Amino acid sequence: MNQLPSAGPACQNAGWSESCFEHRARHRPSALTLSTMTLYLIATLLVCATALLVLGEGSDTSPLLWMLVMTPLLTWMALRHGVRPAGTSQTTDALSARQALGRFAEHSGQPALLLEGENIANANRALLKLIGLEDRGDELIGMPLDNIVHPRHHRRLARLLSPRADNRDVGTLSLMRADGTPWLVRVSLFQGHSSQLTLLQFAAPHDGPANPGHEYLQATRLAHFSREILFSLDAQMQLSYANAQWERSTGRSVAESLQQPLLSIFHSEDRAALGTGLRQLQARKRDSLTLEVRIRATRAHAARWVELRAWPMDLPEQGDTGVSGILLDIDQRRRGEEALRAQRRGLHTMLNNLPGMIYRGQNDRNWTMEFVSEGCFELTGYTPLELVDNHSACFAEMIHEEDRDFVWNFVQMRLDRRERYELSYRIVDRDGQTRWVWEQGRGIYSSRGEFLGLEGFITDVSASRGAQEEARRRLFFDNATGLLSLSLFLDRLQHLHRHAAIADYPFALIHIEIVTIADIAEHYGPAMSERVSVEIGKRLQIVQNDCNGVARHAGGFAILISDFRPQTLSWAGQSVTEPASGAGLLHLAHALATVISRPLRIDGHSLNLSARFGIASDREAYADAHAMLEQAARHDHPGMLTPPPEPAN
């Protein structure tokens, strides 16, 4: 006869009681009833035997004897009649037990199912909901149980359902949900000794002890209030545990995240590296894993950077390896680092786009560089690698030889005063070209006043320096002819006028006016007349030296002569004994006529020039240089400037 044991502890916790078996107990024949019937039969046989011995000696005892003989038969039949309902009761009891177990599984608060052999006979709503078949429960009835068990746990299921299995809390299995994800559960088994019915109850695995002590409670409290995420993963790399900080940091509830792949919450760009690292941990190919990854954003939380630290963890109940770890919030640090990198990129771009070189170096005679920007290549022709630490080139050697002492002394003077320094000097680049550069820098000092080095900026100012030189040249020289500017000419004349009496040296002023210049302008245009004046000016450059000079004035040219030495008057041809005398000055005027009257051809036009001149040589007759120039410009010697006649043989 079938006997079902009383409910185990797990079943009792779920509300299991002896009431499930009361119907079977009421219809089960007891051993006491069977013993009583046997004694009754034996007693009846003894009575019948005694009666035969006593009555057999009398007269007609035939009916009585028949009655005595029939008594055991009737007793046996009564016994048979009493045993037959027990078989009927057995069939009814089996049906009642199945109904009772089915009702228990249906109304149990825990996920449960009823097996008949190896096929599912019934599954309650709690189980159907958890595996995603709440509206498709009929599909599960009659299906082999291993259809919803992960393949890696089929052997464990076979051991669980073997006839030798005991009614107990047998461990863990992975059930497959309708969406294909596994669900790790603990299984409790209740099976009759000779029955085909088996009740399975499922519950989420518990990591804590049945009777938690102080240390366990303290650890649980620390995990709950931790400001960092603590987690563990099962053998399928699904979340099996997470503390309360998980929801606060990720915006995802722990209940919804459990038994979900951990990789799903991370940024797609980080999953490959993270997945590889976790698999290596599980395979014991590494002892630990540290990665900086991003958690995907939710409606309530933006994407955040975390540092994942993980270690392999043994799972004895599954006979496999999982992972435990911690997620540290590093979002603020990473954003600060990214902002700093962006600033550095911007600074690097700005430095590279500056037309010059930013440097940091030492205050030594070699001007040893510790850092130079990329602009050094355009400025000097050397790369930063070649300049730093004087690897291939020394900056001091690039400074023009004539400027090296000036640069050193000027910078040292400013450093002694702890002042910024600004200076211009020349360098010779890699190609041997001389460049004007402008440098601005300062000394670097520690908080205690210790000198650390130099920082500054050097840029090429050759173009501006050339412009300054051009402006200076324009201030002192005529740009078209190369002659002295009128202001410089007057300064020289004024200087001679003031100091000639003191030094007692002669000088003279000759003014030449091109008379035909007006006719040329009228006939050929103003541009032609300007070109004629430029050509004449270029011819008169032979007169200029440190003491003598020529300048354009009032449509003509003013010529100052203070150096009457023969070598400076070689342009006048035959030397004169006294060139500063009236005759000598007249000879110089005719020599100028020879220079000016050479054939002039412009754009195919032959031009003849005529002019008049004036001479002013008596310095005492004029108040200043302007008065002297006005007197010469009166042209007291009108007429053509023609070459002097050739001397007679």
Question: Which pLDDT band, with edges at 50, 70 and 90, does 327 fall under?
Answer: very high
C-alpha–C-alpha distance, residues 551 and 558, integer Å: 5
CB 608 within 8 A of CB 516: yes
Share above pLDDT 90 across residues of the chain, in percent, rounded to a whole number: 18
Determine the pLDDT at residue 640.
43
Give all strands (DSSP E) within 234-365, no chain letters.
239-242, 289-295, 304-315, 320-329, 356-361
431-437, long-range: CB within 8 Å, 24+ apart, which pairs? Answer: 431/381, 434/400, 435/379, 435/460, 435/462, 436/460, 436/461, 436/462, 436/465, 437/379, 437/461
Determine the pLDDT at residue 644.
39
DSSP helix/strand/coil, 17: coil
Q: Please check whether residue 52 lies inside any domain of the structure.
A: yes
Q: Are residues 502 and 593 in the same domain?
A: yes
- End-to-end C-alpha distance for the chain, whole angstroms: 172
Determine the pLDDT at residue 463.
81
Q: Please check whether residue 128 lies inside any domain of the structure.
A: no
Burial (0-12, 13-18, 19+ Cβ within 10 Å), 497? buried
Q: Please check whether residue 145 lies inside any domain of the structure.
A: no
Q: Is the predicted pLDDT of residue 643 greater than 50, yes or no? A: no
C-alpha–C-alpha distance, residues 574 and 587, integer Å: 9
CB 289 within 8 A of CB 309: yes
| Length of the chain measured in residues | 649
C-alpha–C-alpha distance, residues 361 and 372, integer Å: 9
CB 265 within 8 A of CB 273: no
DSSP helix/strand/coil, 605: strand
CB 274 within 8 A of CB 220: no
Residue 422: domain span: 354-466
Q: Are residues 447 and 494 in the same domain?
A: no
Q: Is the predicted pLDDT of residue 322 greater than 60, yes or no? A: yes
Q: Please check whether residue 290 lies inside any domain of the structure.
A: yes
CB 592 within 8 A of CB 641: yes
Domain end: 335, 370, 401, which one? 335
C-alpha–C-alpha distance, residues 371 and 347, integer Å: 14
Determine the pLDDT at residue 476.
64
Q: How many CA atoms lie within 13 A of 64 on its CB side?
A: 15
Which positions ≥6 away from 415 have C-beta within 8 Å?
A: 363, 421, 443, 451
Q: Is the predicted pLDDT of residue 92 greater than 70, yes or no? A: no
Q: Is the predicted pLDDT of residue 30 greater than 50, yes or no? A: no
Q: How many CA atoms lie within 13 A of 452 on its CB side?
A: 10
Give all strands (DSSP E) within 204-319, no chain letters.
229-233, 239-242, 289-295, 304-315
Determine the pLDDT at residue 581.
83
pTM of the model: 0.38
Residue 185 has which token pair? 């559960």
C-alpha–C-alpha distance, residues 559 and 36, integer Å: 168
CB 122 within 8 A of CB 99: no
Q: Give the residue carrying structure tokens 């000092």.
A: 445
Q: Give the residue carrying structure tokens 């009916």.
A: 63
Q: Are residues 439 and 549 in the same domain?
A: no
Q: Are residues 20 and 79 in the same domain?
A: yes
Q: Are residues 498 and 435 in the same domain?
A: no
Pairing mode of beta strands 112-116, 556-561: unpaired
Residue 134 has which token pair? 């709440």
Q: Are residues 530 and 550 in the same domain?
A: yes
* Low-confidence winner among 100-114, 264-278, 457-471, 522-536 (lowest mean pLDDT): 100-114
Q: Are residues 453 and 568 in the same domain?
A: no
C-alpha–C-alpha distance, residues 323 and 231, integer Å: 8
Q: Are residues 411 and 316 in the same domain?
A: no
DSSP helix/strand/coil, 111: coil
pLDDT digits (tens, 9 = 90+) for 126-154: 888 888 888 888 888 888 988 888 887 88
pLDDT digits (tens, 9 = 90+) for 356-375: 899 999 999 999 999 998 88
Q: Please check whether residue 166 lies inside any domain of the structure.
A: no
Q: Please check whether residue 161 lies inside any domain of the structure.
A: no
C-alpha–C-alpha distance, residues 558 and 440, integer Å: 45
Bridge partner list, 359: 372, 456
DSSP helix/strand/coil, 413: helix
Buried b (16+ CB within 10 A) or exposed e, 7-19: bbebbeebebeee
Which positions ≥6 away from 187 have C-beta within 8 Å?
A: 160, 169, 170, 171, 172, 173, 200, 201, 202
Question: Which pLDDT band, with edges at 50, 70 and 90, does 585 fall under?
Answer: confident
Burial (0-12, 13-18, 19+ Cβ within 10 Å), 581? middle
Q: Is the predicted pLDDT of residue 530 greater than 60, yes or no? A: yes
Domain end: 103, 125, 160, which one? 103
Q: Are residues 413 and 484 in the same domain?
A: no
pLDDT greater at residue 399 or residue 194: 399
Determine the pLDDT at residue 168.
57
Residue 388 DSSP one-character state: B
Question: Which pLDDT band, with edges at 50, 70 and 90, does 169 fall under?
Answer: low
Share above pLDDT 70 across residues of the chain, in percent, rounded to a whole number: 73
Residue 610 has which token pair? 């005529």
Average pLDDT, the chain: 77
Q: Please check whether residue 3 lies inside any domain of the structure.
A: no
pLDDT greater at residue 643 or residue 522: 522
Determine the pLDDT at residue 477.
67
Q: Is the predicted pLDDT of residue 280 greater than 60, yes or no? A: yes
Q: Are residues 304 and 371 in the same domain?
A: no
Residue 538 has which token pair? 């270029």
C-alpha–C-alpha distance, residues 346 and 336, integer Å: 15
pLDDT digits (tens, 9 = 90+) for 41-66: 666 666 666 666 665 555 455 565 55
Q: Please check whether residue 567 lies inside any domain of the structure.
A: yes
Q: Is the predicted pLDDT of residue 353 greater than 80, yes or no? A: no
| 171 membership: H or E segment, kind and range | strand 169-176
Q: How many CA atoms lie within 13 A of 506 on its CB side?
A: 13
Determine the pLDDT at residue 455.
93
Please state, as a whole number, how many other Cβ atoms lie within 10 Å of the Cβ of residue 50: 11
CB 125 within 8 A of CB 134: yes
Q: Are residues 359 and 328 in the same domain?
A: no
C-alpha–C-alpha distance, residues 128 and 347, integer Å: 62
Total count of domains within the chain? 4
CB 242 within 8 A of CB 231: yes
* Low-confidence winner among 58-62, 402-406, 639-643 (lowest mean pLDDT): 639-643
pLDDT greater at residue 575 or residue 307: 307
Q: Are residues 455 and 496 in the same domain?
A: no
Which positions ≥6 away from 280 have C-beta within 8 Å?
A: 286, 289
Domain end: 443, 466, 489, which one? 466
Q: Is the predicted pLDDT of residue 399 greater than 80, yes or no? A: yes
Q: Is the predicted pLDDT of residue 648 greater than 50, yes or no? A: no
Which positions ≥6 away from 609 have C-beta within 8 Å?
A: 514, 516, 517, 532, 536, 596, 597, 600
CB 234 within 8 A of CB 205: no
Comparing CA positions, the residue from 119, 125, 128 lying closest to residue 147 is 119
DSSP helix/strand/coil, 554: coil
> What CATH number corresponds to the domain at position 368?
3.30.450.20
- Tell me how far the alpha carbon of residue 84 is from its chain's centroid: 88
Comparing CA positions, the residue from 277, 335, 272 lying closest to residue 303 is 335
